[in-house]
Amino acid sequence: MTVTSFEANRARVIGIAADLFARNGYHGTGMAELGQAVGLGRGALYHYIGSKEAVLYAISKEQVDKMNSYAEELLDQELAPEELLRQMARGLLANIAEHRSEWAVFFREYTALTGERRDHVIAARERYESYWRQALDNGVRAGVLRQTPRLLVKGILGMLNYTYLWMEPDGELKPDEVADMFLDALIDGIRA
């Protein structure tokens, strides 16, 4: 698919906004500051993004949508339960390492969204959680994992998601290594 110049410019604006929002907060970043950072006047800036909340929505929804698509692809592959969980964790941590600013904005700022935008982001997040629950339930049905409380998914995702604060894509440990370490500890604790 060919990316138009409009799409490329919009993506650039959203990427820079993610960095600014991650560093200064959504409420601490003004449109004038964003316009200056991207080198666009007010009219051109609004041409690409529509509104500040629209940018927050785009940032907040893009990565969780990617992770939902990734989880759906993995679930369709009918992987062994432990491998499914491992691949889900690896995919999430690779994405977090590559898009730290976007995830920082998602985790810290999505509550500033209003109305349908907020509802869509929450629904996308809940859908992602449901894929993790499905993966755990597959392991229980296969007899390789024991039944776990429904709340465990939030704990697993909290453990993985929190890496946005410290994990570097080129750090001492690669995202896959961190994912494997976390999953080994988890799976050893719930193996049937």
* Sequence ranges of the domains in the chain: 56-188
In the prediction, which pLDDT does 170 show? 84
Decide if 156 contacts 132 (C-beta within 8 A): yes
- Averaged confidence pLDDT in the chain: 94
Average pLDDT of 61-65? 96
What CATH architecture is 56-188?
Orthogonal Bundle (1.10)
- The residue to which tokens 């690896």 are assigned: 90
Give the Cα separation of 125 and 16 in Å (integer). 23
The pLDDT tens digits for 116-170 are 999 999 999 999 999 999 999 999 999 999 999 989 999 999 999 999 999 987 8
The pLDDT tens digits for 36-50 are 999 998 888 888 898
Check pLDDT > 90 for residue 81.
yes
Give the Cα separation of 101 and 1 in Å (integer). 26
Give the Cα separation of 72 and 89 in Å (integer). 14
Alpha-carbon distance values, 62 to 121, 125, 140, 185 (Å): 9, 11, 31, 30
In the prediction, which pLDDT does 1 show? 65
pTM to 2 decimals?
Answer: 0.92
Between 177 and 3, residue with greater pLDDT? 177
Check pLDDT > 80 for residue 2.
no
Average pLDDT of 98-115? 96
Confidence grade of residue 181 (pLDDT, cut at 50, 70, 90) = very high
In the prediction, which pLDDT does 92 show? 98
End-to-end CA distance of the chain: 45
- CA–CA–CA angle 101, 104, 106 (5° rounding): 110
Of the chain, the percentage scoring pLDDT greater than 90 comes to: 83
In the prediction, which pLDDT does 190 show? 82
